[in-house]
């Protein structure tokens, strides 16, 4: 049986306008983009925003969506345009998770100041805060009351310390009293990094797994994001990424599951994986196995010959492209050896020593043997420099013409060690791109995802993984992707043979995935395609383990969904109004009489998907239940075709339950067996069916002394998993392992 997931709900008729802020930004972008590229940018931005919460509805709303583009393809421009359009449509605050390193935070803040605030020209329409503290609460409150209604832009490091602080700001009475239910946009750049729960697989594999998700582990960044989301009543969370395997595959086990998606179109001058590994593989050069660096197996004692060659190609490229052809103001080279900082230090030392030696040799007398030997070594590399300058319009300088520029290029080369070991060398180090015609950047994790190496032409990456790489990890090392058509003939990428094969496979995988994302409106369908692809390990593991089913998807499990009361009330009331229930047995009193409906499995999945869970344990239970139902529905033998939803005490008032405001939990949801009345009441736990999963809807009144929580009416759920289902699952998985 093939399970069919229903299409997502409509976006409540929200049609964004293209207003003054968007128009002003687009007018400034016309010098970079042609009309087709502008049309694509506007169409895709409108599509993303149209699936956000409706800012004109002053009520609690939340949604998570995905924007998927190529590496280095202009995602920043996309979310900059999205910010301008969000401003036009009434979003008051825009939060940016700007990466896990300070250099990425600074890079994003500077870009927003330049592109949106326009160096001060638009300061009445935008206000910018970087890593705000609680001392900024009054200032943010004041800005929310300015008559021009500026969008408040908040860039924050993707680190729990700063995100928790931001949640405190939103929870402050000063901000909450002014913001109310006004729309907030959260943009998560590189959303598959750090945001997702890194302990998901660890939790699923625990040998002594507890019966509840409350005892599981959650990464601090993930926890802080959930706290932030819970602090904002009306928000849209947009995940920007070039590697969505994480958000998609983790989606059924995670709170940050996207509901809608938009595939971003790169500009016409973009050169990515398809360019380097399919269309022009000649630009990729193999590093011999004996020169491939590995911190454990092959640390390399001497500077590898291919690094010397790559440095010479870079320097002559600068002479050609910058000095002679004048196509660019500068070119860069990136050396990415290993995540270990000592490795970066070693490669930086080799590089600096070579450049220092060459400055001495090239400055020597013309008859000096060392100078002659150096020039001859460059002469041997010269054919590679001009190899692809073979069209009728190409200017092909002689080696002597390049040599005439080479001395100044060597002297005017900026070498940077980009590591986090010291502030001078690492996170707070700014590159003076325009100050030099030639840059060489050496590093690893600091030069990984999100960091833009400007005008990168030569990449030297002798790094390889011992085991099979995950697709999202290797792709994010591709700083050599980008808008390089102007100097593509001078680009070279040095990689180990195994890495080249992996990248070529990934390109096929990526193109398949983009095709699925364009074809399917449902992310669940795309997820299924990713799960079965035979290509690279798409992302970290996230399947349901036997332990999870045995201990957590067995018997009754109750939820404490009290962080999104208003949204769940609307959702449940809408479901009840649209559903024809069957009355159960009459036990004599309204609080003991219940009704049920037997629904196709996809309908039950849709109901559960729409029920908001803003705490980690409930979110994990909900999404694991969805995955479990999908698994059961797709079994070859006796697939699960239906499940039950039971409305408890449907004719009575909300049933009072003791509530702990500190833990946000009920003392007990179910009532027990009772012999009072005309019929013996078996207790809430007996209101179930054994032939399928059952979901009880409980309408309760919270009993506690808190002014904020006492007497609140809320809906919550209890889920019953028949024991036979768990036994069958465990037996099946055990057979598969054998």
Q: What are the DSSP E strand ranges found in 88-125?
A: 93-97
Closest CA to 413 of 443, 429, 434, 437: 437
Q: Are 86 and 22 in contact, with CB atoms under 8 Å apart?
A: no
Q: Are 184 and 178 in contact, with CB atoms under 8 Å apart?
A: no
The per-residue pLDDT for 606 is: 86
Q: How many angstroms separate the Cα of 403 from the Cα of each of 316, 378, 379, 392?
A: 8, 9, 9, 23
Residue spans in the chain of domains classed CATH 3.40.50.300:
20-198+218-263
**Three-state SS at 264:** coil
pLDDT at residue 182 above 80?
A: yes
Q: Label residue 511 by pLDDT band (50, 70, 90).
A: confident
pLDDT at residue 683 above 90?
A: yes
Which has the higher per-residue pLDDT, 60 or 434? Answer: 434
Q: How many angstroms separate the Cα of 183 from the Cα of each of 52, 58, 233, 245, 469?
A: 9, 8, 8, 28, 40
The per-residue pLDDT for 500 is: 86
**Pairs from 173-178 (Cβ < 8 Å, separation ≥ 24):** 174/137, 174/138, 174/141, 175/137, 175/140, 175/141, 175/144, 178/141, 178/144, 178/145
Q: What tokens appear for 405 in the block?
A: 């520029």
Q: Are 498 and 297 in contact, with CB atoms under 8 Å apart?
A: no
CA dihedral 51, 57, 58, 62 (to 10 degrees): -20
DSSP string, 524-545: HHHHHHHHH--SSB-SS--PPP
pLDDT at residue 470 above 90?
A: no
**Over the stretch 606-632, which tens digit does the pLDDT of each residue have?**
898 888 876 667 777 887 788 788 878
- Tell me which CATH code domain 20-198+218-263 carries: 3.40.50.300
Q: Label residue 516 by pLDDT band (50, 70, 90).
A: confident
**Over the stretch 557-568, which tens digit does the pLDDT of each residue have?**
898 878 788 889
The per-residue pLDDT for 472 is: 44
**Three-state SS at 621:** helix
- C-alpha–C-alpha distance, residues 32 and 29, integer Å: 5
**Over the stretch 98-144, which tens digit does the pLDDT of each residue have?**
878 887 888 899 999 999 999 899 999 999 999 999 999 999 999 99
Among 111-115, 253-257, 352-356, where is mean pLDDT lowest?
A: 253-257
pLDDT at residue 636 above 90?
A: no
Cβ-proximal residues to 393 (8 Å cutoff; 6+ apart), any chain: none
The per-residue pLDDT for 738 is: 47
Q: How many angstroms separate the Cα of 275 from the Cα of each of 160, 267, 488, 505?
A: 38, 14, 10, 13
CA 175 to chain centre: 28
pLDDT at residue 375 above 70?
A: yes
- C-alpha–C-alpha distance, residues 153 and 172, integer Å: 18
Which has the higher per-residue pLDDT, 451 or 359? Answer: 359
Q: Label residue 329 by pLDDT band (50, 70, 90).
A: very high
**Over the stretch 642-676, which tens digit does the pLDDT of each residue have?**
999 999 999 989 999 999 887 788 999 999 999 88
Q: Label residue 733 by pLDDT band (50, 70, 90).
A: low
The per-residue pLDDT for 195 is: 55
The per-residue pLDDT for 9 is: 38
- The DSSP letter of residue 518 is H
* Mean predicted confidence (pLDDT) in 78-97: 96
- C-alpha–C-alpha distance, residues 256 and 630, integer Å: 19
The per-residue pLDDT for 194 is: 54
**Over the stretch 573-610, which tens digit does the pLDDT of each residue have?**
999 999 999 999 999 899 999 999 999 998 998 898 88
Q: Are 493 and 459 in contact, with CB atoms under 8 Å apart?
A: yes
CA 27 to chain centre: 29
Residue with the two structure tokens 């001009």: 386
Q: Are 234 and 490 in contact, with CB atoms under 8 Å apart?
A: no
* Mean predicted confidence (pLDDT) in 438-442: 94
Closest CA to 22 of 144, 126, 152: 126
CA 185 to chain centre: 15
What is the pTM for the complete model shown?
0.69
Closest CA to 228 of 144, 86, 305, 132: 132
The per-residue pLDDT for 325 is: 95
The per-residue pLDDT for 241 is: 82
CA 320 to chain centre: 39
**Three-state SS at 460:** strand
pLDDT at residue 693 above 90?
A: yes
Mean model confidence pLDDT for the chain: 83
* Mean predicted confidence (pLDDT) in 436-463: 82
Q: Are 153 and 80 in contact, with CB atoms under 8 Å apart?
A: no
* Mean predicted confidence (pLDDT) in 141-157: 95
Residue with the two structure tokens 């809408």: 574
* Mean predicted confidence (pLDDT) in 413-424: 74
Among 39-48, 100-109, 173-182, where is mean pLDDT lowest?
A: 100-109
The per-residue pLDDT for 186 is: 96
Q: Label residue 259 by pLDDT band (50, 70, 90).
A: confident
* Mean predicted confidence (pLDDT) in 466-494: 71
- C-alpha–C-alpha distance, residues 149 and 91, integer Å: 9
Identify the helix (H) or strand (E) that includes residue 146. none
The per-residue pLDDT for 245 is: 61
Strands 642-647 and 595-600: antiparallel
The per-residue pLDDT for 676 is: 85
Identify the helix (H) or strand (E) that includes residue 336. none
Residue 427, CB half-sphere, CA atoms under 13 Å: how many?
10
pLDDT at residue 366 above 80?
A: yes
pLDDT at residue 339 above 80?
A: no
Residue with the two structure tokens 């002659």: 372
**Residue 142 CB neighbour total at 10 angstroms:** 12
The per-residue pLDDT for 735 is: 53
The per-residue pLDDT for 277 is: 87
- C-alpha–C-alpha distance, residues 612 and 237, integer Å: 14
């Amino acid at each position: 049986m093939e399970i069919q997931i229903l299409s997502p709900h409509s976006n409540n008729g929200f049609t964004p306008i293209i207003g003054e802020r968007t128009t002003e930004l687009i007018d400034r972008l016309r010098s970079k983009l042609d009309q087709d590229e502008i049309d694509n940018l506007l169409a895709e931005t409108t599509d993303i925003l149209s699936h956000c919460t409706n800012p004109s509805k002053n009520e609690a709303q939340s949604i998570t969506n995905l924007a998927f583009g190529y590496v280095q393809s202009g995602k920043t421009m996309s979310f900059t345009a999205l910010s301008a359009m969000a401003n036009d449509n009434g979003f008051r605050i825009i939060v940016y998770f700007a990466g896990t390193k300070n250099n990425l935070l600074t890079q994003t803040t500077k870009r927003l100041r330049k592109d949106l605030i326009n160096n001060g020209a638009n300061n009445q329409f935008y206000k910018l805060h970087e890593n705000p503290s609680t001392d900024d609460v009054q200032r943010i409150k004041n800005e929310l009351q300015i008559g021009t209604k500026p969008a408040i832009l908040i860039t924050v490091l993707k680190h729990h310390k700063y995100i928790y602080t931001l949640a405190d700001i939103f929870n402050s009475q000063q901000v909450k009293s002014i913001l109310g239910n006004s729309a907030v946009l959260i943009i998560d750049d590189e959303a598959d990094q750090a945001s997702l729960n890194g302990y998901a697989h660890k939790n699923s594999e625990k040998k002594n797994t507890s019966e509840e998700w409350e005892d599981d582990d959650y990464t601090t960044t993930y926890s802080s994001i959930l706290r932030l989301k819970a602090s904002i009543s009306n928000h849209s969370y947009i995940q920007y990424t070039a590697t969505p395997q994480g958000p998609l595959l983790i989606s059924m086990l995670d709170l940050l599951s996207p509901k809608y998606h938009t595939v971003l179109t790169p500009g016409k001058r973009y050169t990515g994986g398809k360019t380097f590994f399919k269309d022009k593989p000649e630009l990729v050069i193999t590093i011999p196995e004996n020169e491939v660096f590995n911190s454990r197996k092959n640390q390399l004692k001497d500077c590898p010959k291919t690094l010397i060659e790559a440095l010479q190609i870079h320097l002559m490229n600068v002479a050609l492209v910058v000095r002679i052809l004048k196509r660019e103001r500068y070119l860069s080279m990136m050396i990415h050896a290993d995540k270990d900082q000592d490795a970066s230090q070693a490669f930086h030392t080799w590089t600096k020593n070579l450049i220092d030696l060459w400055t001495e040799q090239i400055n020597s007398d013309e008859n000096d043997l060392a100078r002659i030997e150096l020039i001859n070594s460059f002469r041997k590399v010269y054919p590679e420099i001009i190899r692809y300058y073979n069209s009728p319009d190409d200017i092909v300088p002689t080696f002597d013409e390049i040599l005439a520029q080479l001395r100044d290029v060597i002297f005017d080369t900026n070498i940077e060690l980009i590591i986090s070991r010291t502030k001078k060398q690492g996170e707070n180090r700014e590159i003076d791109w325009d100050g030099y015609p030639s840059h060489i950047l050496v590093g690893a994790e600091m030069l990984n995802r999100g960091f833009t190496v400007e005008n990168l032409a030569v990449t030297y990456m002798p790094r390889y993984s011992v085991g099979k790489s995950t697709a999202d990890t290797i792709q994010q090392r591709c700083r050599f992707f980008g808008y390089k058509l102007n100097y593509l003939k001078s680009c070279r990428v040095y990689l180990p043979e195994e890495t080249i094969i992996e990248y070529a496979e990934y390109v096929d995988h990526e193109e398949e995935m983009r095709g699925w994302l364009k074809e399917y409106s449902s992310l669940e369908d795309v997820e299924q395609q990713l799960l079965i692809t035979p290509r690279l390990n798409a992302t970290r593991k996230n399947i349901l383990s036997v332990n999870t089913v045995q201990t957590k998807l067995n018997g009754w499990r109750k939820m404490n969904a009290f962080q999104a009361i208003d949204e769940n009330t609307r959702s449940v009331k809408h479901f009840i109004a649209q559903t024809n229930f069957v009355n159960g047995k009459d036990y004599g009193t309204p609080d003991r009489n219940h009704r049920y409906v037997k629904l196709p499995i996809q309908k039950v999945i849709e109901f559960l998907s729409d029920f908001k869970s803003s705490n980690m344990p409930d979110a994990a239970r909900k999404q694991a239940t969805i995955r479990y139902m999908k698994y059961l529905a797709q079994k070859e033998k006796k697939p699960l075709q239906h499940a039950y939803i039971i409305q408890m005490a449907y004719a009575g008032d909300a049933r009072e339950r003791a509530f702990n405001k500190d833990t946000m939990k009920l003392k007990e949801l179910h009532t027990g067996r009772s012999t009072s009345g005309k019929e013996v009441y078996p207790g809430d736990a007996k209101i179930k069916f054994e032939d399928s999963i059952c979901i009880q809807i409980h309408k309760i009144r919270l009993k506690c002394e808190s002014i904020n929580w006492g007497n609140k009416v809320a809906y919550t759920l209890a889920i019953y998993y028949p024991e036979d289902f768990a036994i069958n699952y465990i037996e099946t998985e055990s057979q598969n392992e054998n």
